[in-house]
Amino acid sequence: MSRIRCDRTPAWTALRALYDSRGRTLDLRQAFAADDGRFERLSLQVPHVFADLSKNLLDPQIQGQLTELARQCGVQEHRDAMFGGESINSTEGRAVMHWLLRHPQGAATHPLTPYVQGELGQVHAVLADMLAYAQAVREDAAITDVVNIGIGGSDLGPQMAVLALDECVDHGKRYHFVSSVDGHELSSVLRQVRPQSTLFLVASKSFTTLETMTNARSARAWFTAQGGRDIARHFCALTSNVQAAAEFGIRTTFGFWDWVGGRYSMWSAIGLPIAIAIGPQRFRELLAGAHAMDEHFRSAPLERNLPVQLALLDVWYRNFHGFNSRSVAPYHSGLRRMQAYLQQLEMESNGKRVDAAGQALPYATSPVIWGEPAANGQHAYFQMLHQGSDVIPVEFIAVKKVAHDLPEHHHKLLANGLAQAQALMLGQQDPGGHRHMPGNRPSTFLLLEELTPASLGALIALYEHRVFTAGSLWGINSFDQWGVELGKVLAKNIEPRLSSGDAAGLDASTAGLLKRLRS
Ligand code: F6P
């Protein structure tokens, strides 16, 4: 399908004019004073997520024109191409079908092509096998520790979800995540486990990633050195490179497909640690929550389509207001790896400087995504959000019902979240003084009824589709990641030099550091 870049549409030109005439000076306090219905008009209830967009630098005209931009860029056609199984990952010639991993069999949603239908059959076959295996591991009292060895998408999703769904987790076992090649990580886990009671999950889409393969080899060496015999029982591979896993000596493997990007893979076999931790039924609920969001994205009109509206805000802030980062502020300790997960999802997908045809872009793309669980962030970097020289849109994520019985804590937590969003918007008058806060700083408030597998699934799918839409508007391919390859190649070149000391051909800085490291 042909793509239409945002800067080549009439809507882009109209938005430029709108920004100059009213966007630049829009004042949230005045906007609320002038419009009693602003909160209702700018909030959306979608599956499992309520979103208040009213504290964003929008008015009906701006929002209408942004939505028109999505229309003119062909976001709907691009979305339909994804749901139709077309090869929209143009640089790798692959379809993009992580949504199919949560598509129920026989669902009467949209007609699937014979190719997609065939893939769906395989998805459900692997899912059934994997969930049966997860259940067997859950029932196997001799296995006390599950160690996931994987990095990037083969780590962040499972780790984030196991932490977030702690209430559903079987605490009869311990879950460890080893990602970095920094030997401290693996050796710290190996100190805590015993070979006869440990299951190692080697998670790697490619089964070639340096960190994962180094950790997997060291784990296998430790296992045999400790007298471990039964590799088949204690090692399991989660990969789309089934042959490499077999060559490594792993007999139990759950596969997935090249149309699942690493950072979109927690719904595939990569989700096995989640399924072991929360059980097959809850894992299916996670998938169902994500599917509900897929359906919202696929069928809601652009005006009421939450992933689309969030992506349009991203473009409005990045390309018109010039804001270059977004802070994510979860008010739930279970979401403490959410920012790391979103950093990969958004920045690896949309951190691109050329369009899908390879032409250099004249505008900025992915903002920097950053943050911490916000109760802590408030006592650290929120100072900058309120009084710093940059305007940084904040995304609050809060949960209405919690699983603990300390209601006073929850009221205080929620009050803080609401107060921070309010303070960002209202500011404080102390002209010329140190207490002055300009206010008019935008934020979005996402609210979940409860943090459950279904609501987490919906929240993550919401972000996936928002990233898709922003990438679609920017005209880029959100599904490759060539930028991470050069560093890998250079590391291969440098590694032997750490032993040999050979600095020939290196730049002076790298050569100087190498010398210091060897001295
Ligand atoms: O180097 C980046 C990356 O390819 C990510 O996109 C991916 O999630 C991660 O490495 C891990 O890759 P794999 O699952 O193939 O080990």
Q: For 250-299, how does the pLDDT look when each residue is reduced to its tens digit (9 = 90+)?
A: 999 999 999 999 999 999 999 999 999 999 999 999 999 999 999 999 99
Task: Read off the pLDDT of residues 233-256 as tens digits, 9 standing for 90 and up.
Answer: 999 999 999 999 999 999 999 999
- A 10 A CB-CB count for 142 gives 8
Taking the C-alpha atoms of residue 353 and residue 361, their distance in angstroms, rounded to an integer, is 6
Taking the C-alpha atoms of residue 187 and residue 170, their distance in angstroms, rounded to an integer, is 25
Looking at residue 108, what is its pLDDT? 81
Which among 285, 295, 346, 348 is annotated as catalytic? 348
- CA Rg, the chain, in Å? 24
Residue to mutate (ligand 1; options 151, 156, 464; most atoms within 8 A of CB): 151
434 labelled catalytic: no
Which among 110, 379, 400, 401 is annotated as catalytic? 379
User: What mean pLDDT comes out for the span 450-455?
Assistant: 98
Taking the C-alpha atoms of residue 98 and residue 243, their distance in angstroms, rounded to an integer, is 22
Residue closest to 275 by CA, chosen among 423, 148, 187: 148
Task: Read off the pLDDT of residues 205-226 as tens digits, 9 standing for 90 and up.
Answer: 999 999 999 999 999 999 999 9
**154 C-alpha to center of ligand 1: Å?**
7
User: What mean pLDDT comes out for the span 171-187?
Assistant: 98
**484 C-alpha to center of ligand 1: Å?**
9
Determine contact, residues 233/133, Cβ cutoff 8 Å. Answer: no
- A 10 A CB-CB count for 173 gives 18
User: What mean pLDDT comes out for the span 94-120?
Assistant: 94
pTM over 0.85: yes
Mean of per-residue pLDDT scores for the chain: 97
Question: Token match 């056609």: residue?
Answer: 77
450 labelled catalytic: no
Residue to mutate (ligand 1; options 484, 489, 490; most atoms within 8 A of CB): 484
Looking at residue 437, what is its pLDDT? 95
Closest-CA residue, ligand 1 atom 9, reads 152
User: What mean pLDDT comes out for the span 328-332?
Assistant: 97
pLDDT higher than 90, residue 1: no
Query: What percent of the chain has a predicted confidence (pLDDT) above 90?
Result: 97
Query: What percent of the chain has a predicted confidence (pLDDT) above 70?
Result: 100
User: What mean pLDDT comes out for the span 84-102?
Assistant: 97
234 labelled catalytic: no
pLDDT higher than 90, residue 106: no
**211 C-alpha to center of ligand 1: Å?**
10
Looking at residue 477, what is its pLDDT? 97
Taking the C-alpha atoms of residue 440 and residue 433, their distance in angstroms, rounded to an integer, is 18
pLDDT higher than 90, residue 114: yes
Looking at residue 374, what is its pLDDT? 84
Closest-CA residue, ligand 1 atom 5, reads 152
